[in-house]
Structure 1
Amino acid sequence: MSFSLFRASVRRAATAPRAQLRSQLRIPLRKFSTPPPEAPVPTPKSNTTLYVGIGAVVAAAGVAFYSFSDSGSNAVKTGVQAAKVKANFVPTKEDYQKVYSRIAGIFDDAGDYDDGSYAPIILRLAWHSSGTYDKESKTGGSNYATMRFAPESQHGANAGLNVARDLMENIKKEFSWISYGDLWTLGGVAAVQEMNGPKIPWRPGRVDGVQTQATPDGRLPDASQGSDHLRKIFGRMGFNDQEIVALSGGHAVGRCHSNRSGFDGPWTFSPTTMTNDFFKLLFDEKWVWKKWNGPKQLEDKGTQSLMMLPTDYVLVQDKIFKKHARAYADDEALFFKDFAASCAKLFELGVPTEQWVSPEPWIMKNVDEK
């Protein structure tokens, strides 16, 4: 992925059929089903004052969007969203849980797409829509979901994410009251949790923006670069070295595509399951430069079926990065804890405090939890 940390859509693992991998890893092939959404609760069960406050913000954003957007259809949709808020439709946590479950329900509908799951590419969408934040100018981030607009949607780092946006657009039609920023980041939360990853604290409050708020190209990591580049890109967002390494562990899932990023292959043998294998493999495998006509990347010498990007390999070359990577290779629980915290921080970049519906983030239930 561009993210080159998260250039992850998924695809069939090169070393074994997906069914065989699931069997070896004792991962059940789960199918999800979700009943039709119930009518929304007309009044909130809690946080009434906070919900009303966010309603006012969303309503104001809707008016501004209608007046200045270059896209008439999106203006109408946002105007409708604002009208619903004015009509006292106040979504509760239970309403957002229904959206979560609906998103999770599409992951295993991927069929032959990649490794049989849409979860990694949905996670990549959440990552890339949040990772454009600039702490100095306070622009970018997840608040306005500006990847809906050109030219941001056409940036090289976002190649292939039209697949994820189209999937989420279908869910947006079912739950028209949710903002795109909330929808996309909630999708990232669902992706991590349903791929057996840690719980990601999340809360709603993002509003839809306008085309003029789209971010310039070059704010997401370039996978061909080194440690200085990673520190520059992530430092601009407000992350330290430990958080950079933790977020890099997202490459435990998904894969790169030669027709998108130019790079090709999965990082691990189980690209639809969240583990600390990305770090284990960095230390345990012998990595050599791949001989091919594509961009510079590494492959494992043993099976030649896995890949690492230059920005991945610097995690074991840079002294400070290596210390954190080694800790995560040795302790999956530690990795999960730090990844959850860094991911939650990433998904909230660019959102003013006063917009949050809840003073504290929520923990959403997995689809198999009651």
Structure 2
Amino acid sequence: MLDALAPVAERAAVRIPAEHRRPVAIVGAGSIVDVAHLPAYARHGLAVRGIFDVDAARARSVAGRHGVPTVYASLDDLLADPEVSVVDIAVVPWAQPETVRAGLAAGKHLLCQKPFAPDVATGRTLVEQAEAAGLAMAVNQQLRFDEGIAAAHAMARLGWIGEVTTVSYTVDIHTDFSAWDWLVASDHLEIMYHSIHYLDAVRDLLGDPRLVFGTGSRVPDQGTRGETRTINTLVYDGDVRAVLHVNHNNRNGDPRAEFRIDGTAGAIRGTLGLLYDYPRGRPDTLEVTSRVLPTDGWLPYPVTGRWLPDAFAGPMAGLLAAIATGDPAPTAARDNLGTLALVHALYRSMDSGTAQAPEPA
């Protein structure tokens, strides 16, 4: 039975061939760059030539910890470096569109932070600018590259559980948002900055829904402006559905971060270990029960990678492959407009109390 897992492991693996590697520069030196981007790139042999942050001291500190040779004095200096053709943008959301425009004007291929843009119209304009310049641009939607999620999707695509009928995410955790001042003050929070991961992963497996229902709420003492509890339903043709139930206010010591994919001939279930003790986390789990293989009950899959930092190599690997081959990256900005449209459709549903169709990307 273990031999049957080999094609799943092959499909779930993230690899960056030597011929795809290019020197990378990073805009932003926040905690996610420190604990995820740079460690992931190092594990795959990517050379990070330099880094820039508006907080120069922080940039020097992060560069020193990871052996990054150059701390640029300005964004202009970074973009003027002729040795750098790929730029990883990891800045606050409102600074991203301007940074993207500057990067494209400088002729750089870009990996952008999610959410890709504040709205679909802005995102579409940026995509058109990149395409007109002949530059590759992708979005750092890395959950679909988390080994547990990638392996689960591989099992589903191999037909192990028959036709997929339902995808569900249940996340019931306590999140302290106070470390991100800008997030605390954001009018939109949970869907825009957290469940966007699950929505993108659902799109990776099922494509774009035709209709969505969304509702969000707060708790009296949450300390943030935006919603911290959401229930979202995605309606696909026929009887296929996806459901996301996410709560960031569980202070009772019994966190859950689970996903499940049901099909006509079995099911896949797993946990997102990162969310049980963020940012340290614990290993993911994954199991499948299948009448196709068949399995004798639930068969464990040995997940060895983690969402943070391992999955962060995935979007960069996809971007580098796109540059090398001309094929679209899995998280190409053009495709990611669909994820952004889905996010905004859910907010329209939340505000109106009615079902909404995502805007065509």
When normalised by structure 2's length, the TM-score is 0.28
**Structure richer in helix, relative to its length:** 1
With CA pairs under 8 Å and 6+ residues apart, which has the higher RCO, 1 or 2?
Answer: 1
TM-score by length of 1: 0.28
When you count strand as a share of all residues, which structure comes out higher? Answer: 2
